[in-house]
Amino acid sequence: MPRHTVDPYRLDHLTVALQPVVGIHSGVCHGYEALLRGTEAAGYASIQSFFDSCHADGCLAEVELALREKAVTAFASLPHHPRAKLFLNIDNRVLAVEGDPARRTRAILDRHGLPEASVVFEISERHPLDAGLDAVSTFRHFKRQGFRLAIDDFGTGFSGLQLLYYSEPDYLKIDRFFVADIATDAKKKVFLAHIVTIAHLLGAVVVAEGVETEREFRVCKEIGCDMVQGWLVQRPTTDWTGLQAHYPEIERLARLDRRAAGGDQRIIADQIARPEPLNLHTPMEKVFERFRTDKSATFFPVVDGSGVPLGIVRDQELKDYTYSPFGKELIANKSYGRSLKDFAVRCPVADIGAKAEQILEAYSAVERAEGILIVDDLRYVGFLSADSLLRVINEKNLATARDQNPLTRLPGNAVILSWVCEALEDRAGSYLLAYFDFDNFKPFNDKYGFRLGDRAILLFGDLLAKAMAAAGGFAGHIGGDDFFAGFKGAAAENAEDICRQLIADFARDVESFYDDETRRRGHIVGQDRLGNTVSFPLMTVSCVAVHLTPDCGTCSSDDISRLLADHKKAAKQAADHLAVVHPCPA
């Protein structure tokens, strides 16, 4: 196909904006996506119409190459670019006509002194792959040249799982459609959770695009996304001096629920092995020497120049050369063209900040995996073998059992305190803390015995656990007949109604524990602490509900305890057994 001349006027009006892609656990910037700006000034209604026009004119490939030059120039001007990636969009429509886009991009990178591993090509679903295109060969060619691949706008276009299957991407970028309102859309949450699982099974890093709110961020982190991009981090900007290597606000948000995973991280850190990785450009004769020196090793991690793991190299892939009379000499021959990247195989990867269950899930998804590579901000940290992972899960289960109430199996005081402290540290969120205490439990226990008393406690524990599961809240058992519930974000908005319903449900269901005569009378006849004959009403539960908002300022867990104690009597005297407390200014 003859190349068309690119109109210089068209390109002069165009510029590049960069938007950061950051680690969801730390806020450290992993890379920047290059986004086109200035199409309206060039006379086009939208960015898409500009590319459609270039495609119709037959010059899309040349325009993309010129824009790539602009993006690389911008990226190379950043002081921290050596530890970052540049995400470049590539239109599917040029894959069959551009003529080795990988080679032509390498020429641009050479002029700026950048390695191929610093570029991630984003392949979008918005246009179908050409029917005559050998997709597998095309994508493998990109990777053989040292570039990374990402699927952009996943879930919104033509190819879907087919593109995921053929491209074997290093990154999977989830479209904003699935991220928007995910905190309140249960179907989106389930859908996205399964996408994350599939991506991790294939060894891909998951980027949640278009994250705009803290609630969206928290859900994306909860279901296992590795990175985040969107207005919550920073809007695309043409002022490249405003780009940062680290975004403290994202780190702050991640730290809020790191308290719960802190125990997991300590257990995981104790079990991590830390074999020295091989750099992707290590000569093969040194790879053989490494295996010869460390005869107990059956594999070594392989990382790129930034310390990002690419997989592992196993001795079994090298055995054909090891046992061949001329195998080592042949593979060391540069003209033969075999290098370490040809022998690296994929291995499951998990962030050190992930929960133990998420790491186990990532490992279990890959058959016959030696273990799982552990990363921090996608940089190699160490390796968890299958045996070490089993020890992690066992330690986690033991720690969980220690923190559970032995009767109801609900989280106990240590976990409850951790949850309350997290709520108090979150200056941006809204919470409701609910304390439940039985009314007239002692007369019931005295009359019917401890076994039936335990059944009453189990009844409320079960009601509370089910209500919190449905509402997205936290349920805990302080001890005896004292319980705790925590609500945050959207769940806190309806928390008072949920507490009232719990009070009513327990009062209704616990009546079945009394004998017919007592139910008919509506009270128990017993003795008070002084031995006097007294009538005690049937058992109920009262609740003190404390609202926490971003306006609360400095407040400690001791302050919360005092609030609950001060309003406990008011709750028991209220007609609906609920006392609502607003300690913060309206």
- Token match 């278009």: residue? 210
pLDDT for the residue 2: 46
Task: Name which of 13-17, 350-354, 431-435, 450-454 the model is least confident about.
Answer: 350-354
pLDDT confidence bin for 8, thresholds 50/70/90: low
Q: Supply 289's token pair.
A: 């020497």
In the predicted structure, residue 259 carries a pLDDT above the cut 60: no
- Tens of pLDDT, residues 108-140: 999 999 999 899 999 876 666 665 566 667 787
Report the chain's C-alpha Rg in angstroms: 30
Strand arrangement of the beta sheet that strand 299-303 belongs to: 278-279, 299-303, 309-314
What architecture is domain 404-581?
Answer: 2-Layer Sandwich (3.30)
Measured distance CA(288)–CA(544) in Å, rounded:
68
CATH T-level topology, domain 16-239: TIM Barrel (3.20.20)
In the predicted structure, residue 44 carries a pLDDT above the cut 70: yes
Q: Which residues pair with 371 in a beta bridge?
A: 385
**H/E stretch holding 467:** helix 450-471
pLDDT for the residue 263: 61
Average pLDDT for the chain: 84
pLDDT confidence bin for 1, thresholds 50/70/90: very low
- Tens of pLDDT, residues 268-324: 888 899 999 999 889 888 888 898 888 888 899 999 888 889 889 998 878 766 666
pLDDT for the residue 96: 66
DSSP 46: S
CB atoms within 10 A of CB 451: 8
- Tens of pLDDT, residues 427-463: 667 899 999 999 999 899 989 999 999 999 999 999 9
Measured distance CA(367)–CA(495) in Å, rounded:
44
In the predicted structure, residue 4 carries a pLDDT above the cut 50: no
In the predicted structure, residue 251 carries a pLDDT above the cut 60: yes
> Would you list the domain boundaries of the chain?
16-239, 270-396, 404-581
**H/E stretch holding 350:** strand 349-351
- For 165-196, b/e burial (b = at least 16 CB within 10 A) is ebbebbbbbbbbebbeebbeeeebbeebeebb
Residue from 192, 142, 144, 135 nearest 162 by CA: 135
Q: What is the 3-state secondary structure (H, E, C) of 516-546?
A: HHHHHHCEEEEECCCCCEEEEECCEEEEEEE
- Tens of pLDDT, residues 137-183: 778 788 888 889 998 888 665 556 777 777 788 899 998 998 998 87
Torsion 335-336-337-343 (CA) sign: negative
What proportion of the chain, given as a percentage, has pLDDT over 70? 88
pLDDT confidence bin for 551, thresholds 50/70/90: low
What architecture is domain 270-396?
Answer: Roll (3.10)
Residue from 190, 264, 197 nearest 225 by CA: 197
Q: Supply 8's token pair.
A: 């210089």
